[in-house]
Chains A and B, each alone.
Chain A
Amino acid sequence: MRSGCITCGDQGVPMRIVELHEGEAVCVDQDGASHKVAVELLDTVRPGERILVHAGVAIGAVT
């Protein structure tokens, strides 16, 4: 995980979706670490897509 502060945008981490479950995705970050991420705030998500994750929640798509 990057250095920085969780309470600010610096900790918005780009991740790639590996698996999707209801409202939740298994994602990998740039170091290959796996994370569970809530994806309800995005319209549509598919495995393979890149998303921006902040505090365990996807807040945007990376296009």
Chain B
Amino acid sequence: MKYVDEFRDAKLGQVLAGEILAEVDPHRHYKVMEVCGGHTHSIYKYGIDDLLPDNVELVHGPGCPVCVIPMGRVDDGIAIARQEGVIFTSFGDMLRVPGSQYTLLDAKAHGADVRMVYSPLDALRIARENPEREVVFFAIGFETTAPSTALTLKRARDEGISNFSCICNHVTIVPPLKALLESPDLRLDGFIGPGHVCTVVGARPFEFIPADYGRPVVISGFEPLDVMQSVLMILRQLSFGRCEVENQYTRVVPREGNLRALEVMSEVFELRPHFEWRGLGFISQSALKLSDAYREFDAEQRFEVPGMRVADPKACQCGEVLKGVIKPWECKVFGTACTPEHAIGTCMVSPEGACAAYYNFGRYARQKETA
């Protein structure tokens, strides 16, 4: 398909690998963070890290929404799902995230009516078809996903659907990046920016990174050649002493974003004062809740939820993985107690989690061979 196949061309990939090799200073170690879990997934699926010079290190960022959801929020969802008459819906990966005792799939096995949906619009359709039941959507995701939730809630209000509500866990990408840039643990040389988040929010929200922290950002697509070209663009900025937000993904990302999506989001959502991120703790103004105009659709208002903070399992080092401080295979339980089949940490649940990406695409086996 146009815009897909040409960005997976192996010969062009080799050419780009040569250009990257020619661009690096052999005496320097480069640390580049890919912010989005989609990039992490592409890097391991296509073996991009194997095509890069040894002194160019890709560090995985916090951009997998399933990975950063704290256990207490999962418990809140399960508490709603177990109530009489409720149909509880969410995306597939979310159903496998462990709470303090169960996953939502475990709750389903114990009798709760938990259903996987592809879109929040599917959850709204279920509400239309089941007017005698309460249908709840567990909303999760960054600014890529928030517009679909906003559009769904707008349709629910316009159609007067009163048996639909949403437990909102949408998060925003800029505040955790600021937290990471302030962290003394991590020294980064540049960022591969989240292409599809930028489709919605544009490039402007990332301009503080070069302006305030002196690090280049290249907004990137998700095909293998997109990621490689973005690495090259970051290295060139560093070589030439430039520092700015560049857009590699021009075929999809307009500089100003999607203004109509932003308008609908600002009508439906407002910022939470603070929100807990797994591994990163509480971060100010880093998540969305429903605005007063949509308060009637807020499941946290409609149902009783425990609202308890739950500490992560002691053995799990998802926090360090999410901050890029350790590699997935350096976690004590990686590949032993924690596997995709029996995940302890969230990074092993989603295919975009750094641990699952390592595990699923054979990196774990390779690490063991070379150890």
* B-binding residues in A (CB < 8 A): 3-12, 14, 29-30, 38, 40-43, 50, 52, 54-57, 59-63
Q: How far is the CB of A20 from chain B (nearest CB, A)?
A: 17
Tell whether, in the assembled complex, residue B63 and residue A8 are in contact, meaning their CB atoms are under 8 Å apart: yes
- Asked if A3 and B351 make an inter-chain contact with CB atoms under 8 angstroms apart, the answer reads yes
**Chain B residues with Cβ under 8 A from A59's Cβ?**
144, 147-148, 196, 199-200, 258, 261
* Contact status A54-B148, CB under 8 Å: yes
CB B119 to nearest CB in A, in angstroms, measures 3
> Cβ of B252 < 8 Å from any Cβ of A?
yes
Q: Within the assembled complex, what's the spacing in Å between the Cα atoms of A60 and B258?
A: 7
Distance in angstroms between the alpha carbons of A12 and B261 in the assembled complex:
15
* Most interface-central of B45, B194, B195, B352 (chain A CB within 10 A): B352
Q: Which residues of A contact B352 (CB under 8 A)?
A: 4-5, 8, 10
Assess A9 versus B350: contact at CB under 8 Å? Given A57-B151, A59-B144.
no
Cross-chain contact B38 with A10 (CB below 8 angstroms):
yes
Q: Does B121 contact A (CB under 8 A)?
A: yes
Q: Given the complex, which residues of A lie within 8 Å of B194, measured CB to CB?
A: 9
Question: Which residue of A6, A30, A41, A52 is within 8 Å of B118 (Cβ)?
Answer: A6
When distances are taken between beta carbons in the complex, the residues of chain B under 8 Å from A40 are 151, 260
Please indicate the chain A residues that have their CB under 8 angstroms from the CB of B224 in the complex: none
By beta carbon, the residue of chain B nearest A1 is B118
CB < 8 Å A-B pair total: 140
Distance (Å) between the CB of A36 and the closest chain B CB? Answer: 9
Q: In the bound complex, how far is the Cα of B149 from the Cα of A56, in angstroms?
A: 10
25 A-B residue pairs with CB within 8 Å: A6-B93, A6-B118, A7-B91, A7-B145, A7-B350, A8-B65, A8-B142, A8-B352, A9-B197, A10-B36, A10-B37, A10-B196, A10-B222, A12-B196, A12-B199, A12-B222, A14-B3, A30-B1, A30-B4, A54-B144, A56-B120, A57-B147, A57-B148, A59-B148, A62-B3
B142–A10 touching, CB < 8 Å: no
For the complex, give the distance between the alpha carbons of A56 and B64 in Å. 19
- Please, which residue of chain B has its CB at the minimum distance from the CB of A32? B1
Chain B residues closer than 8 Å to A12, beta-carbon distance: 38, 144, 195-196, 199, 222, 252
B122, B148, B264: most-surrounded residue (chain A CB, <10 A): B148
* B290 CB-CB contact with A under 8 Å: no
**In the docked arrangement, what's the CA distance between A59 and B70, Å?**
27
Task: Please give, as numbers and ranges, the residues of chain A lying within 8 Å of B260 by CB-CB distance.
Answer: 40-43
CB distance from B321 to the nearest CB of A (A): 16
Interface residues of B in 47-95 (CB under 8 A from A): 63-66, 91-94
**Interface contact B196-A55, CB-CB below 8 Å:** no
Pick the contact of A60: B45, B119, B254 (CB < 8 A).
B254
The reply to whether B121 and A9 form a contact with Cβ atoms under 8 Å apart is no
Chain A positions within 8 Å of B65 at CB level: 7-8
Interchain CB contact under 8 A, A10 and B145: no
A7, A11, A61, A63: the one contacting B66 at CB < 8 Å is A7
Taking a contact as CB atoms closer than 8 A, the residue among B2, B36, B122 that contacts A8 in the complex is B36
* In the complex, per-residue mask of B170-202: 1 if CB is within 8 Å of any chain A CB, else 0: 000000000000000000000000111101100
